[in-house]
């Protein structure tokens, strides 16, 4: 259940170009990390690390950059990759993590994911 802030944050994106994917009116997450970065963006704003409007504008900007570099029907489009890019930018700007720390954590996560994939294949 959303708190007032979480409801405000999520609903501020509805009905606009930066709206999150939905399925039958509910937020749609296809991979577990999507839900994590969605919640993390809201939680960091709620804790005062950045203004929600700053995140929203960062998301709009990252979507705009992607659209300027790709055809609109490009199958590589991924909403939550843009969400993550917007979050990453603000986390660095807020001084919460350095780029090298993010790169290290992401590499570790990808390594775990690859290990999980190889275990599932055996």
pLDDT of res. 113: 58
Is 103 part of any domain? no
d(C-alpha 57, C-alpha 20), whole Å? 14
Is 111 part of any domain? no
Is 114 part of any domain? no
User: Of the candidates 22, 19, 85, which has an alpha carbon nearest to the alpha carbon of residue 58?
Assistant: 85
Indicate the number of domains in the chain: 1
Is 79 part of any domain? yes
pLDDT above 80 for 85: yes
The boundaries of the domain holding residue 61 are: 4-97
pLDDT, one tens digit per residue, over 58-82 is 999 999 999 999 998 899 999 999 9
Work out the angle between the directed axes of helices 4-11 and 32-46 (0-180°, nearest 10): 120
């Amino acid at each position: 259940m959303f708190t007032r802030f979480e409801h405000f944050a999520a609903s501020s994106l509805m009905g606009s170009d930066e709206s999150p994917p939905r399925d039958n009116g509910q937020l749609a997450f296809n991979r577990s990390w999507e839900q994590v970065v969605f919640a993390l963006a809201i939680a960091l704003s709620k804790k005062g690390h950045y203004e929600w409007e700053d995140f929203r504008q960062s998301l709009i900007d990252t979507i705009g950059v992607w659209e300027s570099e790709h055809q609109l029907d490009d199958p590589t489009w991924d909403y939550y990759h843009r969400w993550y890019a917007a979050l990453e930018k603000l986390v660095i700007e807020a001084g919460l993590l350095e780029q090298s720390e993010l790169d290290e954590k992401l590499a570790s996560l990808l390594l775990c994911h690859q290990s999980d994939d190889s275990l599932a294949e055996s």
